[in-house]
Structure 1
């Protein structure tokens, strides 16, 4: 098993740049526009001054005092509410991704996941035999789904929020693709139904939130339910040819937790990697942004 700390190679993604981090915030460029927003892991000092941050940023996300998960965007320079960027890699993946300012500080993209998009794309391109059936759970706005579809997979994209599934469809269409199967459902309920039906997938992608709600109010708590979810995923993952990618963002989680979860629920795990994802700012400070575990049978 290989332990890794993975990040984008600086400069390879022309439409994204992590400019500075610190003071519980991050300053990022997406295409032509620069935004600043909260980042709980950035507990160190900023390298640039506060005035320089405000001078550079087009928009700043200000948290609500009573609800740190919500807030509003303060417009500092003229920029659109919605815009689009590109992602390309050296293996031939080329995606167009739609961004927007939301009330939850997110913009529809987690750039540290680019290393996983590359992994998904290359794994499917090299998949033995027929192209795989891939299930993307907690799929959000679907960059991983688009990467899998671009590589030729038969993709099922599942999220509990109808609006982000619609957003994902727009990302697929902007990338000149079609054919993704869209599901609005609770992830646990869906995979249990698939297990009862005897359905198998050759690829499973999971990026569960720390907390969440299903479309009918179903409660999701990562620590309480991820073990059960992986047990069910083991039932529907093709035992012969397969890959699985697990990503988790929780301030309290070590990648060793992912190791224990996978090893206790899956047999014959091969070609495994686990570790941290991070992004490096222009001052060489490394911002940790979650843990991952991924394995494949070939």
Structure 2
């Protein structure tokens, strides 16, 4: 029987709102500040007028004409470069997250991932083990790591960028947590070493980029390497008790691809869930923001 495809979006969140989307842009509120950023998925028309967008915007991202991969922020309201927001859910998860305006348009947070933070927190809380080991690969600024740690996991957080790991440390401290194990390494090299050592984890979180570089210049291309990575992950995932969460943001990928990758690399997949993550803007348009596949044997 085919696993039904789900469409998931975060529940009510006091510190976040997707105000409008369209014209390859999105207008979002993080805490008390409203940001305007490019969004390649928003190919439809905006619901609000240009005047309404301008009047609400505290800072907007402009692309660098010489380097389309980067850009700069312009702030009509002189908003601060750094600020914080909170996240909490009904199950008891509470986090403080530090945000910043970076030259890559990102601010240190992907709001659609809140549904996965909730899943991670719930899985660790439901574990029959004390301090289950959780590995977060491509961990970025670490909200998933915080969710696992807050639920009682022994967390290994891996990213290839030292500054991003430092960012996560601040998130951990400001959330009243400690004890996360930090790794600045290439994800593929790390899990292959873990497999050779016979180390296993009760939870594995993967949110790989489409393209990336390891700390030693190692090249990552999602389409070329994700199959091998999942094959190795199957060797280090504890067969007795486990959960695995795969999230991918690629315009060319569907959740069926994620399902095929999981089903061909893992012998036993129980309680599977697959589908798309999206954010609903205040004008009731749904912005797709990636695909997921997750499973747990408890």
Does the 8 Å CA contact 1:54/1:76 hold for their aligned counterparts? no
Count of residue pairs brought into register by the alignment: 296
TM-score by length of 1: 0.98
2:113 maps to what in 1? Answer: 113
Question: Secondary structure, in 3 states, of the residue corresponding to 1:291?
Answer: strand
2:98 maps to what in 1? Answer: 98
CA distance in 1, matches of 2:53, 2:61: 12
1:121-140 → structure 2 map (5 Å cutoff): 121-140=121-140
Shift of 1:24: 0.2
2:179 maps to what in 1? Answer: 179
CA distance in 1, matches of 2:69, 2:113: 21
Does the 8 Å CA contact 1:138/1:187 hold for their aligned counterparts? yes
The answer to whether the aligner puts 1:5 opposite 2:11 as a matched pair is no
1:78 maps to what in 2? Answer: 78
CA distance in 2, matches of 1:199, 1:6: 33
CA distance in 2, matches of 1:194, 1:8: 33
CA distance in 1, matches of 2:155, 2:75: 37
1:256 maps to what in 2? Answer: 256
CA distance in 2, matches of 1:47, 1:171: 35
Shift of 1:129: 2.8
Does the 8 Å CA contact 2:130/2:152 hold for their aligned counterparts? no
CA distance in 2, matches of 1:221, 1:188: 12
1:209 maps to what in 2? Answer: 209
CA distance in 1, matches of 2:142, 2:260: 27
Structure 1 residue ranges (4+ consecutive) displaced by more than 6 angstroms after TM superposition: none
Shift of 1:131: 2.8
- Cα deviation, 1:155-182, whole Å, max 9, x if unaligned, reads 0000000000000000000000000000
1:164 maps to what in 2? Answer: 164
Shift of 1:83: 0.1
CA distance in 2, matches of 1:156, 1:204: 10
CA distance in 2, matches of 1:268, 1:195: 18
- Cα deviation, 1:76-110, whole Å, max 9, x if unaligned, reads 11211000000000000000000000000000000
Question: Secondary structure, in 3 states, of the residue corresponding to 2:37?
Answer: strand
Shift of 1:52: 1.1
- Cα deviation, 1:276-298, whole Å, max 9, x if unaligned, reads 00000000000000000000001
Shift of 1:67: 2.8
CA distance in 2, matches of 1:185, 1:78: 37
The answer to whether the aligner puts 1:230 opposite 2:260 as a matched pair is no
Question: Secondary structure, in 3 states, of the residue corresponding to 2:139?
Answer: coil
2:269 maps to what in 1? Answer: 269
Aligned Cα root-mean-square deviation (Å): 0.7
CA distance in 1, matches of 2:161, 2:174: 20
Shift of 1:23: 0.3
In structure 2, runs of 5+ residues without a counterpart are: none
Question: Secondary structure, in 3 states, of the residue corresponding to 2:232?
Answer: helix
The answer to whether the aligner puts 1:69 opposite 2:65 as a matched pair is no
Shift of 1:137: 0.1
Question: Secondary structure, in 3 states, of the residue corresponding to 1:141?
Answer: coil
Shift of 1:51: 1.5
Does the 8 Å CA contact 1:59/1:75 hold for their aligned counterparts? yes
- Cα deviation, 1:114-156, whole Å, max 9, x if unaligned, reads 0000000011001123231000000000000000000000000
Does the 8 Å CA contact 2:121/2:147 hold for their aligned counterparts? yes
